[in-house]
Amino acid sequence: TRPAHTTSSSTPAYMWLGRMSGRIPASARRGLSSCTRADEQGKVLHSMERLSSRLRLRGNVREGTALLHEVVNGYRHLLGVHHPHTVGSVKGLAALLYEQGALEDAEPLAREAEAGYQHCLGAMHPVTLVAQNDLSQLLYARGKVDEARVLAARCLRSAQDVLGAAHPDALAFAVNFTQILVAKGNADAAAPLLKQALDVARQTLGGAHSLTLTMISSLAQLRLAQGRVAEAEVLMREDLVASRKALGFKHPETLTSIFNLAMLLEERSQRREPAETIASASAAGEEAVLLLREHLSLKDAASKKHGPHSDLSTEVRLSALLYARARQVDPSMASGTDSTQHMHSASAATQTPTISEEATAMLEESANLARGALKARRAAHGSGCTSTIPPLSLLAHALHELGRADEAATLAVENFRLSRKLLGSTHPQTVSAMGLLLQTRAAASASERAHEETGALDGALPFGWLAGHG
């Protein structure tokens, strides 16, 4: 039997390339002009592989990915499926598809790469173990948690045996395994394993190493899952300080650290612990606002350099937090936690609310952020998408509190209709939207146009609600 690496060795390179030329992008063919008939097929493939990388670096991801597919097929044809070059190209393509979110397409390639490395390098080779870890992460991302857990546990044991528990790969595998354990609801089992790995990382890699920072962040999230909020906050603060120092203020990992700490403080401000004072919860809310403003500023700066950022969660969360903070600093605001409260009389609701200057400034900022997020999400996904509901609801609430009855009423109608259509009549968001609609309906009763807008929905509202709040 002819060895795998000599498959098709008698086929001239120019004939093989000619059969593929119809599928190679035009720019790729131009880049391969230096390859003549005398070139070996391996050189052709190597040139294509480098060209694929250059295309992707220049932003032409689609064409670069298509070319890498051809490289993989070429190595399979030329060298056989178990040759290290073939397996390496398969692994690279799987990683690329994973980054693009094409998990279903990436999975068979990741399995092929892991099996290929086992065949050509052995089950305990460090490269094989990395491929196993990558496969377990992909399976976890696809929701195949049980299979991912078994593979990750085997990978971690092998790495500790072969490389030692202090090796960076073994530490990285420990992070992956504990994340899967948490996803399976085994946070208590994952905690000591991750804590031990973090202690080793601090000693061997130092507190500023990227892997150490990842482990600190992972342990913080694990402590949150355990309900140990105070410990999680200490870890998040350590992660943020170290990330700013080691990576810089604008690094994506630093931005993630800022956002995570802000979310924890936001939660503290809204649901303070039994032993926590009102002043402490308020201070947590103030710090969360500052952190989210910093995150938004740094993200905007990055957008100007690298292009618009599609994630608008910071804008929405900051808008919601500012709205909640306004209600905290000025309890006289009309809306309570339950959006159906404070509707005992229509005459009271029609009065323009008198709120403090501090609360007004917060509401104005909240409304502006919500309006910007709503506009961006409508442009990206259309008006009938669930992602538009949060900023739409926030904008309607903020405008209602600011006394802009006509705007608030129109938005409240849209909010209720969209929530009922996409989420169902009994969904909590729909119920909340109904309460807001009834508030704005009463507040806007003096406006004929707004009253017509809300009155058109009478038949859609339960009789009990109309009888109690009409």
pLDDT single digits (tens) 77-132 = 888 899 998 999 999 999 999 988 899 999 999 999 999 999 999 999 999 999 99
- Pairwise CA distance, residues 343 & 149, whole Å: 52
Task: Identify whether the C-beta of residue 265 lies closer than 8 Å to the C-beta of residue 273.
Answer: no
Q: How many residues belong to the chain?
A: 470
The CA distance from 210 to 216, in Å, is 10
CA 338/CA 444 separation, integer angstroms: 20
Domain count, the chain: 1
In a domain, 85, yes or no: yes
Report if residue 43 sits inside a domain. yes
143 occurs within a structural domain: no
Give the domain CATH number at 109. 1.25.40.10
34 burial (CB, 10 Å; 0-12 / 13-18 / 19+) is exposed
Average pLDDT over residues 160-168: 94
- The parent domain of residue 75 ranges over 37-121
Q: Which residue has the higher pLDDT, 430 or 335?
A: 430
* Long-range CB contacts (within 8 A, 24+) of 61-69: 61/100, 63/25, 63/27, 63/28, 65/93, 65/96, 65/97, 65/100, 66/23, 66/25, 67/24, 67/25, 67/28, 68/92, 68/93, 68/96, 69/93
Q: How far is CA 440 from CA 276, 423, 429, 467, in A?
A: 35, 21, 16, 16
92: left (phi over 0), alpha (psi -120 to 50) or beta: alpha
Q: Indicate the average pLDDT of the chain.
A: 80
**Residue 415 covered by a domain:** no
The band of 269, judged by pLDDT with boundaries at 50, 70 and 90, is: confident
pTM attached to this predicted model: 0.69
- 296 in any annotated domain: no
245 within some domain: no
Q: Is residue 141 part of a domain?
A: no
Domain-embedded: residue 419 = no
> What percentage of the chain reaches a pLDDT higher than 70?
78
Both structure tokens of 469 = 């709040």
CB 321 within 8 A of CB 289: yes
